[in-house]
A and B are shown apart, each in its own frame.
Chain A
Amino acid sequence: MSTLAIDKAGPTRKVKLGSISRDRVWALRWSYFFLTLFAVFSLVPPIYMLITSLKSSAEISAATDPWWVYHPTLENYIALLTSNQFLRFFWNSAWVAIIVVTVTMLISVPAAFALARMKFWGSATLATGVFLTYLIPDSLLFLPLFKMFAKFSDWTGIELINHWYALVLVYPTLTVPFCTWIMIGYFASIPKELDEAALIDGASWFQTLTRIFIPVALPGLIAATIFAFTVSWAQFLYPLVFTTSTDQLVLPVGIITTLVKGDVFNWGQIMTGALLGAAPPLLIYAFLMDYYIAGLTAGATKG
């Protein structure tokens, strides 16, 4: 009886069923649409820079199609690469970045290891505190830092302001907290038994860090290194504030202060300088991209 009743109550019209494959096709179409949009959006500026860098000043100011080079020339590149001043900026940037990356890793890796693994009183609060310091913007910090450097100079006679190495002291305030945070997340994802096994095998804490944790967390380490490098290479506000003499400037500030004279913009060289300046991070990303993504996502989900 009951089955009969159910049969009668059944649908009289054919219900339209969904299709997994049709859904997937549409999902793909939308994905491609937005990805293309995003790619165009982010690639147009560098392409425009490249086009402009290949033009002479005359062609840039002429009323021709800005998206086409009629008389390609390398004169901007030659001018910058043979200019001692530009090379000076480049080397200053390189030195600052290398030292900052080294200092950052030397501080944040052991710090992250301690915060992630050595359970001591307040370690969890401290780990959160490390992250919170990263949230303070540099635009808030540069004045007190400037004041501190001035006081330091009054007390010790050592002048830090207007020296590139001042940046080596300042940048870690940006890089150390974030790198420590990435590394805490990465170290936390390593099973507890691994350090216990090492402990039983006779490793000290330091050996556990250097021989187990650093090799296992290498992707995270590379991600943190790239981050520290990118931050110190691209930082603009601090060098603008702390350095003024042309022999102490780093690339981002150097390009702006020397290639913009009054209201005269040397667009060709500005674009060339910016492109050349973007080359080192670009090369590093290209080679270490996979590690970078793996490292960031691990830090994001396990932190």
Chain B
Amino acid sequence: MADVSLRKVVKRYDDVEAVRGIDLDIADHEFVVLVGPSGCGKSTTLRMIAGLEDITDGDITIGGDVVNDVPPKDRDIAMVFQNYALYPHMTVAENMSFGLRLKHYPKAEIKSRVAEAARMLDITDLVDRKPKQLSGGQRQRVAMGRAIVRNPKVFLFDEPLSNLDAKLRVQMRIEIKKVHQKVRTTTVYVTHDQVEAMTLADRVVVMNKGKIEQIGTPNELYHKPATRFVAGFIGSPAMNFVPCRLEDAGGKLNVRVTDRFAFPVPSARVARYQSVPRSEKLLLGIRPEHLTEANGHAAPGVESFETVLDVTEPMGMETLVYFTLEGTQVCGRVNPSAGARDGAPLRLAVDLNNMHLLNEETGAVL
């Protein structure tokens, strides 16, 4: 077990800079998820930690040792691939024990380690089968088993659930979390799925265009995003962004969205936004869950307004409603019993206690 550090790590392919000088510290036992859209450099970062890609510049340390030039086999890491990468001609047990056999472990120990991992992953009955006789979920378990038996310093997961169907993905997600709770090995996990990132991670690293946008616990990222990218990437449906500006109105501070709509900034937030120039172009960030049906009771920071819905999406436990505000499509989440219908008017309440103001130009959250 070990900590992992990245110092100003750069990866350049010819003239394309895939990773642009990232710094990251991963503590021992920690489960860190790298998340971002495709091409953001997350997989490249993982492969550099694994030693499958050379680093162009910077330092990577595992357990305090700089491993920039250390081949993968000497880094004491194990990796789980998206397409499982099981050896097709070997049985499950042979797949899992391949690394140990190469290192000439005693037979008895190999056997007990494989049995232990198989028990942990509930694949004891499958150890004599070949990969092609297994389902996708079972293959993924074997791939994890192959990582576990090695008892490495670091686990690396490269989009391990992307090839599974939605239901199995949820199940395996829980499985991975359970395994981590048992073995407590430092884990770096790459995914493009923000739900996976939020549910698995101790800390999430949001990457975009080769840079780290923000590092934080899932809750921090959700409630205190640092940039527009993070605010829009984390959470589903995504946060709404509506063009707005600040204005003073009789000693109070208002967020003016349209000529028709202006909401008073909750008193707790006034100090934070007071210094923002009134002429600056801003974005009002509101998550759909803070845009619900008005219940008639006044609450501090909650403002209600009337709108006509464009489209409604009944989800069962909630209904997503879409309407247009200042030319921008906005999504809200209302109770299924609120009577939301396509094309019908509805009174909505916006909870400004959870509002975000962003600089439209820089994307920074104020």
Residues of A near any B CB (own CB < 8 A) = 191, 193-194, 196-203, 207, 211-212, 215-216, 218
Residues of B near any A CB (own CB < 8 A) = 50-52, 71-73, 77-79, 81-83, 85-89, 98-99, 102-103, 146, 150
When A193-B81, A207-B102 are in contact, do A200 and B72 touch as well, CB less than 8 Å? yes
Distance of B30 from chain A, by nearest CB (Å): 21
Distance of A189 from chain B, by nearest CB (Å): 12
What are 28 A-B residue pairs whose CB atoms fall within 8 Å in the complex? A191-B85, A193-B81, A194-B85, A196-B50, A196-B52, A196-B79, A196-B81, A197-B79, A197-B85, A197-B86, A198-B87, A198-B98, A199-B52, A199-B71, A199-B72, A200-B51, A200-B72, A200-B77, A201-B73, A201-B99, A201-B150, A202-B73, A202-B99, A203-B102, A211-B98, A212-B87, A216-B88, A218-B89
Distance of B224 from chain A, by nearest CB (Å): 37
Q: Which residue of chain B has its CB nearest to the CB of A207?
A: B102
When A200-B50, A203-B102, A207-B102 are in contact, do A193 and B85 touch as well, CB less than 8 Å? yes
| A-B contact sample (13 more), CB < 8 A, given A203-B98, A211-B98 | A193-B83, A193-B85, A196-B50, A197-B79, A197-B81, A197-B85, A198-B87, A199-B73, A200-B50, A201-B73, A216-B88, A216-B89, A218-B89
Q: Which residue of chain B has its CB nearest to the CB of A196?
A: B52
CA distance in complex: A211, B89 (Å): 10
Interface centre among A193, A197, A203, A218 (most CB of B within 10 A): A197
For A200, list chain B residues within 8 Å (CB). Answer: 50-52, 72-73, 77-79, 99
CA distance in complex: A193, B160 (Å): 12
Q: Which residue of chain A has its CB nearest to the CB of B89?
A: A215
For A216, list chain B residues within 8 Å (CB). Answer: 87-89
Distance of A85 from chain B, by nearest CB (Å): 46
Q: Describe A's contact surface by its main secondary structure.
A: helix
CA distance in complex: A193, B81 (Å): 7
Q: Could you tell me if A201 and B98 are in contact, using CB atoms closer than 8 angstroms?
A: yes
CA distance in complex: A211, B87 (Å): 10
For A194, list chain B residues within 8 Å (CB). Answer: 85, 87
CA distance in complex: A289, B79 (Å): 38
Distance of B311 from chain A, by nearest CB (Å): 28
For A199, list chain B residues within 8 Å (CB). Answer: 52, 71-73
Distance of A147 from chain B, by nearest CB (Å): 46
Distance of B200 from chain A, by nearest CB (Å): 21
Distance of B191 from chain A, by nearest CB (Å): 17
Q: Which residue of chain A has its CB nearest to the CB of B82?
A: A193
CA distance in complex: A218, B89 (Å): 10
CA distance in complex: A216, B95 (Å): 13
CA distance in complex: A212, B82 (Å): 19
For B71, list chain A residues within 8 Å (CB). Answer: 199
Distance of A205 from chain B, by nearest CB (Å): 11
Q: Could you tell me if A196 and B85 are in contact, using CB atoms closer than 8 angstroms?
A: yes
CA distance in complex: A191, B131 (Å): 15
For B81, list chain A residues within 8 Å (CB). Answer: 193, 196-197
Distance of A126 from chain B, by nearest CB (Å): 21
Q: Could you tell me if B73 and A191 are in contact, using CB atoms closer than 8 angstroms?
A: no
CA distance in complex: A194, B150 (Å): 17
Distance of B336 from chain A, by nearest CB (Å): 38
For A191, list chain B residues within 8 Å (CB). Answer: 83, 85
Q: Which residue of chain A has its CB nearest to the CB of B88?
A: A216
Distance of A210 from chain B, by nearest CB (Å): 12
When A193-B81, A197-B79 are in contact, do A202 and B87 touch as well, CB less than 8 Å? no
Distance of A6 from chain B, by nearest CB (Å): 30
For B99, list chain A residues within 8 Å (CB). Answer: 200-202
Q: Which residue of chain B has its CB nearest to the CB of A215?
A: B89
Out of A193, A202, A218, name the residue touching B102 (CB < 8 Å).
Answer: A202
Distance of A11 from chain B, by nearest CB (Å): 39
For B79, list chain A residues within 8 Å (CB). Answer: 196-197, 200
CA distance in complex: A21, B102 (Å): 57
For B72, list chain A residues within 8 Å (CB). Answer: 196, 199-200
